[in-house]
Structure 1
Amino acid sequence: MKKPLLAAVLLTLTCGAAHAGSAFTDAKDSVTYRQAAFQLIRHNMADIADMLKGEVNYDANRVTQRATALATLTTLPWQAFAVPGTEQGGGDAKAEIWQNLQDFNSRGEKLANDALALKAAADSGEQAEVRKAFGAFARNCKACHDDYKN
């Protein structure tokens, strides 16, 4: 009884040490994580866009909720690109990401800063400010897709 428990503890410690620098178990896990983060970004972004386009009623409280979510979500995916092997992990990411990782990461930082500006605009309650901040956010998002997404 003690030997299987000891083996399990040693296996856990060994595996934990191998992944101590990362929250991800392997490259596939990091790809799944970043895809989920981008999907949540897309969902929150699309809801704001639909309101700004008049496709659904503008709801300032919902815009604030979505912008608040974006301020957090836009900080999440970038670390998942640094996991060794993720460049072969699948998904829509172009190889250029890893060839230009510094530029890619700086664009991620800019997107997160744009999301903070969008949140501030949403907090102001001024739809015109939201529209302006959302435009900057969306342009940055699209520019990165143009260069780094298949």
Structure 2
Amino acid sequence: MKKQLITALFISIVSTSASAGSAFSDAKDSVTYRQASFQLIRHNMADIADMLKGEVSYDAERVTKRATALATLTSLPWEAFTVPGAEQGGGDAKAAIWQNLDDFNSRGAKLVSDAATLKAAADAGDQAEIRKAFGNFARNCKACHEQYKE
């Protein structure tokens, strides 16, 4: 499953650079892209969470690697919600997204900002700041899920 999502994300990224128009062939393609993006966000987020909870050994280099990935990955899924017909493409996004697109997009922008703050904390290597930045990132992520995910 993870390989399929990563492959789908890679194909979507490649098709973005290959075409002058939309990165997506249709609404279903946009759903595949956003799901792959969120899956990669989840993976990187979970690894940091496991280290902060002490479930695995803390590795500052790995935290920085994951935070750097999150700073990039969090910018990816949002355009896939603006594709014509995206609300009909399937997935577990609630209709409330398209009814409140400005709020949804502002939450996406905040997630990108939170990821940048997390990356800066990881680059500095201060575990207390990493913990604080990660907490803000995770709370924002959860609040959006509560509002906009089935």
Q: Which amino acid in 2 is paired with 1:51?
A: M
Distance (Å, rounded) in 2 between the aligned partners of 1:92 and 1:118: 27
SS at match of 2:83: coil
SS at match of 1:90: coil
- Identical-pair percentage: 82
Instruction: Give deviations 1:75-100, integer Å, cap 9, x for gaps.
Output: 00000000011101111100000000
Distance (Å, rounded) in 2 between the aligned partners of 1:40 and 1:119: 16
Q: Which amino acid in 2 is paired with 1:92?
A: D
| Residue segments in structure 2 that go unaligned for 5+ positions in a row | 1-18
The Cα shift of 1:20 comes to 4.7
The equivalent of 1:47 in structure 2 is 47
The equivalent of 2:8 in structure 1 is none
Distance (Å, rounded) in 2 between the aligned partners of 1:22 and 1:82: 10
Distance (Å, rounded) in 2 between the aligned partners of 1:73 and 1:145: 17
How many pairs does the alignment contain?
132
The equivalent of 2:28 in structure 1 is 28
Instruction: Give deviations 1:32-54, integer Å, cap 9, x for gaps.
Output: 00000000000000000000000
The Cα shift of 1:22 comes to 1.2
Q: Which amino acid in 1 is paired with 2:74?
A: T
Distance (Å, rounded) in 1 between the aligned partners of 2:106 and 2:128: 27
Q: Which amino acid in 2 is paired with 1:127?
A: Q
The equivalent of 2:5 in structure 1 is none
CA-atom RMSD, angstroms?
0.9
The equivalent of 1:142 in structure 2 is 142
Distance (Å, rounded) in 1 between the aligned partners of 2:22 and 2:103: 22
Q: With structure 1 as the length reference, what TM-score do the two structures score?
A: 0.86
For the pair 1:116 / 2:90, whether they are aligned, the reply is no
Distance (Å, rounded) in 1 between the aligned partners of 2:128 and 2:57: 15
Q: How does 1:1-150 map to 2 (within 5 A)?
A: 20-150=20-150
SS at match of 2:132: helix
| Residue segments in structure 1 that go unaligned for 5+ positions in a row | 1-18
Structure ID, larger Rg:
1
Q: With structure 2 as the length reference, what TM-score do the two structures score?
A: 0.86
